[in-house]
Amino acid sequence: MQPTTEAASYFVPCVLASLAAVACGTLLAIMIFQRRAEHRRIAAALGALGGDESNPVRGARAAADEAIRLDGALKELRAILATAPVGIVALDSIDRIVTINPAAVRLLDAGDRPAEGRLLIEIVRSPDLETLIASARETGRRAEAELPFSAAGGERRAGCSVVPLSRDVGNAQLLLVLEDRTELRRLESLRTEFVANVSHELRTPITSIRGYAETLAENFALPPDAARFSQIIARSASRLGAIIDDLLLLSSLEDPSARRDITNTPVRIAGIVAEAVEQVTPAANEKRLAIDVTVDPSLWVMGSAGLLAHAVANLVSNAAKYGPADSRITVTAAAEAGYAVISVSDHGPGIPEIHRERLFERFYRVDRARSRDSGGTGLGLAIVKHVAMVHGGYAGVESRTDANHGSTFRIRMPLATDRGGKNLPMATTPATPASSMQTQSEHSAGTLPIAPSSRRTA
């Protein structure tokens, strides 16, 4: 009995030790298997990252090279942002600043405290900018405007562009680009003031020269050469006077303080078109031109009847000057998407495409010799552009130089509405159908104080 007991006492520990060894071996095998599987996954990931799944080492090297390249590109991007002349601000979905460059810090007067991580409203308080950002978020499209910003050194003006960086409307990250226009606007103000002052000072002596020259030519018996010279002086003084009148008008349209003094009343488009066509009819008759007018009598805009008639008369006069004899001029006015659109078309030689972009600049001419011979000042279309801008619209041109040559100038302005948001009542007079404007018409737009300077810059 004693040997059996001793054998049993050795057997149990051996079995337990064997079981423990088997368990440890199994656990070690599992750990080795898992480690190898993890190595395989890491190798596959490195290979996929480097573009070579079959060779993890080569993939890892490629991934490292790519990381170095991206780090270099990031440094270059930061250098570009730091030296960019325009302000750049990246905003997250709640308008928190993610990135801002030094130009934006200076323009927004953000101070020395780091701006990243702060809400934009903490940096700059501008309801107009908040409205612009909200518009970009709601529409998912780029929004632009020129806005003022208060700074320690005085008010600054900047062109603001808000660009959504994704299509997630309402929660998209935004990129705010700021172009400092403070100095540009200051120089423009100085230029406008200078032109206005010089023009005002020149007006009186030029009027006197013209008056004396006309008096000599008409009331005195002068030798033929002297009479001819007097007529040349009178014509030149008259042209200078027209240029001065146009310059003064342009200065008033460009001056924000003068703009506030412009009359803002309901104006019927049919009236100003009739006013403009009547003033140009004598010149059109000399070239046997027919003026076809089609106007919607229900169109009203808010603004100055005199300025609007002046602009339309400039366009119709240009069409009469540059249209061939025995041709037709078409004047139309209709409503398009909340805008009143006045169009003037002619069958002239057309305007080459390279000139169209600058056509509305002051003193710009396509054919300088022809424009000078026609008595133009080079300011007519510039006046048209600024009149349209003052009334919340814009001017444009379409032209062809092929066999179907001709040009169409358009002025677009927002339609006037009453307080309830409805269009103003229709005029009581019937619409002017497509007919030749050779008869008197009703002038609800009022009489212009001076004859419009109808001169084309082309």
> How many domains would you assign to the chain?
4
Q: 11 and 27 in one domain? A: yes
Q: 190 and 176 in one domain? A: no
Condensed to tens digits (0 to 9), the pLDDT of residues 344-391 reads: 999 888 888 888 888 888 777 776 655 555 556 678 888 899 888 888
Q: 214 and 88 in one domain? A: no
Between β-strands 174-180 and 265-268, what pairing exists: parallel, antiparallel or unpaired?
A: unpaired
Q: 130 and 175 in one domain? A: yes
Residue 449 in any domain: the answer is no
Residue 121 in any domain: the answer is yes
Q: 407 and 329 in one domain? A: yes
Residue 244: which CATH number?
1.10.287
Residue 458 in any domain: the answer is no
For the beta carbon of residue 374, count every other beta carbon within 10 angstroms. Answer: 14
Condensed to tens digits (0 to 9), the pLDDT of residues 163-185 reads: 888 776 666 788 899 988 888 88
Q: 271 and 230 in one domain? A: no
Condensed to tens digits (0 to 9), the pLDDT of residues 118-156 reads: 888 888 888 888 888 888 888 888 888 888 888 777 788
**What pLDDT shows up at residue 270?**
92
Among the three residues 20, 42, 75, which one is the final residue of a domain in this structure?
A: 75
Q: 368 and 270 in one domain? A: yes
**Both tokens of residue 424?**
């103003």
Q: 162 and 300 in one domain? A: no
Q: 429 and 284 in one domain? A: yes
- The pTM for the full model equals 0.59
Residue 450 in any domain: the answer is no
Q: 284 and 385 in one domain? A: yes
Among the three residues 45, 75, 105, which one is the final residue of a domain in this structure?
A: 75
Residue 394 in any domain: the answer is yes
Residue 429 in any domain: the answer is yes
Condensed to tens digits (0 to 9), the pLDDT of residues 69-80 reads: 777 777 877 777
Residue 169 in any domain: the answer is yes
Domain that holds residue 409: 263-436
Compute the mean pLDDT over every residue in the chain, rounded to the nearest whole number: 77
**What pLDDT shows up at residue 367?**
67
Condensed to tens digits (0 to 9), the pLDDT of residues 299-309 reads: 999 888 888 98
Q: For the purposes of burial, counting CB atoms within 10 Å of the CB of 455, is it exposed (0-12), middle (13-18) or buried (19 or more)?
A: buried
Q: 432 and 364 in one domain? A: yes
Residue 117: which CATH number?
3.30.450.20
Q: 432 and 371 in one domain? A: yes
The pLDDT-based confidence of 332 (bands split at 50, 70, 90) is very high
What do you get for the CA distance between the two ends of the chain, in Å?
131
Residue 141 in any domain: the answer is yes
Residue 415: which CATH number?
3.30.565.10
Among the three residues 256, 275, 294, which one is the final residue of a domain in this structure?
A: 256
